[in-house]
Amino acid sequence: MSFNSLQFLIFFPSVVAIYFIIPHKFRWVLLLISSYYFYMSWKPEYVILIMFSTLVDYILGIQIYKAKIPKAKKILLSISFLVNLGLLFTFKYFNFFSDSFRQALSLFSIPFNPLTLKVLLPVGISFYTFQSLGYIIDVYRAKIKPERHLGIFAVFISFFPQLVAGPIERAGNLLPQFLKKQYFGYQRLAAGLKIMLWGFFQKVVIADNLAVVVDKVYDNVTDSTGIPLILATVFFAFQIFCDFAGYSNIAIGAAKIMGIDLMTNFKRPYFASSIADFWRRWHISLMSWFKDYLYIPLGGNRVPLPRWYLNLMVVFIVSGLWHGASWTFVIWGALNGFYLVFEAATAKFKDGIAKRLMLDKFPKIQNIIQIGITFALVNIGWIFFRANSLSDAFYVVTHLFSNISLNIFNISGDDIGLGWAGLIIALSSLLIMESVHLMQERGRGIRQFLSAKPAAIRWSAYLAAIILILMFGSFKSAAFIYFQF
């Protein structure tokens, strides 16, 4: 079941209505049944994986807390890692590593028939696996006590708004909220619906319309050069943001209606003035997970300089692999790691250049230049993220500026898959979104802006957003991009 489906528009209000009618002590039962039903709507048998992972970490969490000997705690922690990462490896990475091994042997003319598993990737497995591992690590570190109520813990692992694409929540934030009695409130309902409305606008009006251009070009990259490739690449940057941020906003809004506060997952990443700033704004829940559970244990930046650079590379290569079992994702992660290392290594040099050009005397101009450079570098990375193969990615990189015509009207609808009317709608919707983001960057969000206006203006804005979604949205129930991770 996807957020942008008619099924969800019936399912969610029904769950909310029952949630506030039944006594608090039974709400976890409703949430658990609803979450499992939500997940089983894709492939019913894969709910067994969530149940198994939940039961294992529930038991191990309690046993780690009870254990008095550090070695015993480490063994129990290792079992959790073995089970969770073992499931993730089997369903997501086994075929990739098996085929990569075959390719490596073929370089030495050694024949090898790889064993492949004919299984589908369970939706959201990377997300709930990391959420469960985060819980176990926090218990091991004595940051939280284990949850004794199996049902509540199962809801924490499978909570349907954020089950398949995050945000990846921490037990210390989410678990206590399931124990607290929530009351129906108009203010919370209104706030949640506004966030969901914004998420639907991002997904069906922006992301799914831009996808027409992106898919047309990237599914047959050798048919295009120059402007179509540039346009599709830039459009993908906004498509993946609106697709993923749209999902996160719908999840956050849906949870808020039920009195559950999920963490913010995006903070206007394309206003970032450096690669480090970008990764503080993009997929915040995942990057904070890697920071706390991988980067800091590796030593973070409190190590000699070469080791710090290595730590950054390791984190981002692993991040790339987390996103997908393909060398394109590995290179995407490594490229972003290289960006960070290069940025850190040349910080003083860049400051010197800025002073020589006197850009430091014009901070706004300097900031605009930095934002532009950061956006360009991120887009180069997105090429590898979106390309169907390494050969496609390298073709795009080497043909971005080939056969460029300054007359964009020479580009036909067949070149980009979207007519001029559709292109105008897409660009107009992007302009609306970025105008809102600019307001937020300046410290005044759209909700604060509208709250100061008369009721007639506020409701006119909400109605306009609904009309835009209904008129220009794509309602083909296109899957969210991050469902594949």
Q: What is d(CA 213, CA 232) in angstroms, rounded to the nearest whole number?
A: 6
Q: Are 1 and 479 in contact (CB under 8 A)?
A: no
Residue with tokens 């006197």: 358
SS3 26: helix
Structural tokens at position 20 = 């506030």
CA-to-CA separations, 465 to 7, 197, 460, in angstroms, rounded: 22, 8, 9
- Kindly report the number of other CB atoms within 10 A of residue 204's CB atom: 25
- Kindly report the number of other CB atoms within 10 A of residue 263's CB atom: 17
149, 323, 399, 437: the active-site residue: 323
Structural tokens at position 301 = 């930046």
Q: Which residues does 150 contact at the CB level (< 8 Å), separation at least 6?
A: 55, 58
State the Rg of the chain over Cα. 24
Q: Are 226 and 427 in contact (CB under 8 A)?
A: no
Q: What is d(CA 92, CA 72) in angstroms, rounded to the nearest whole number?
A: 30
- The one-letter code for the residue type at 445 is G
Taken as a whole, the chain contains a residue count of 485
Interhelix angle 455-472/186-200, nearest 10 degrees: 40
Q: What is d(CA 241, CA 202) in angstroms, rounded to the nearest whole number?
A: 9
CA-to-CA separations, 320 to 94, 118, 410, in angstroms, rounded: 16, 23, 37
Q: Which residues does 192 contact at the CB level (< 8 Å), separation at least 6?
A: 253, 254, 255, 256, 257
Give 69's DSSP letter: S
Structural tokens at position 341 = 């290392």
323 noted as active-site residue: yes
SS3 144: coil
Q: What is d(CA 302, CA 324) in angstroms, rounded to the nearest whole number?
A: 30
Cite the active site residues. 323
